[in-house]
């Protein structure tokens, strides 16, 4: 059974599989590609192939339907939860800084999928 406590999210969240490439911010290489499980203006949940410590900053590049260019973001890991031993992790993160153009693209995407429900 899922979490039944009070809803703490400030932003509407939608389920959606969007392609994401990510790397630890301080590393210039070592990029992995994955997909989101859900996204909101405040953050996202994505599948990663390794466990990240809470507080790790990731450089993220995500492709959304309402922006032809990939969106670059910085995300702070809130938690990584092992799904398949040593192979797949659900990693929840909060966006640290989102510029206005990218904010609009995320908002349009979230609004579109909320209306489709």
Domains in the chain: boundaries: 13-116
CA atoms of 88 and 97, how far apart (whole Å) = 27
Task: Report helix, strand or coil for 90.
Answer: strand
pLDDT tens track for 8-20: 557 889 999 999 9
Note down pLDDT in tens along the chain; length 117 residues.
444 445 455 788 999 999 999 999 999 888 999 999 999 999 999 999 999 999 999 999 999 988 889 999 999 999 999 999 999 999 999 999 888 888 999 999 999 999 987
Mean pLDDT, all residues of the chain:
89
pTM: 0.85
Structure tokens at 115: 């209306």
Helices (H) then strands (E): counts for the chain: 1, 7
Residue recorded with tokens 């009070």:
6
CATH label, 13-116, candidates 2.40.10.220, 3.40.50.2000, 3.40.50.2300, 1.10.10.10: 2.40.10.220
Distances (CA, A) of 91 to 53, 74, 95, 99, 116: 10, 14, 13, 23, 26
């Amino acid at each position: 059974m899922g979490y039944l406590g009070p809803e703490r999210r400030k932003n509407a969240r939608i389920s959606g599989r969007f392609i994401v490439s990510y790397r630890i911010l301080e590393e210039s290489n070592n990029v992995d590609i994955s997909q989101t499980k859900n996204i909101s203006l405040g953050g996202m949940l994505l599948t990663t192939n390794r466990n990240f410590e809470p507080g790790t900053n990731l450089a993220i590049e995500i492709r959304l339907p309402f922006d032809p260019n990939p969106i670059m973001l910085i995300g702070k890991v809130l938690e990584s939860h092992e799904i398949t031993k040593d192979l797949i992790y659900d990693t929840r993160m909060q966006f640290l800084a989102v510029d206005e153009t990218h904010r609009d693209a995320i908002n349009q995407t979230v609004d579109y999928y909320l209306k489709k429900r």
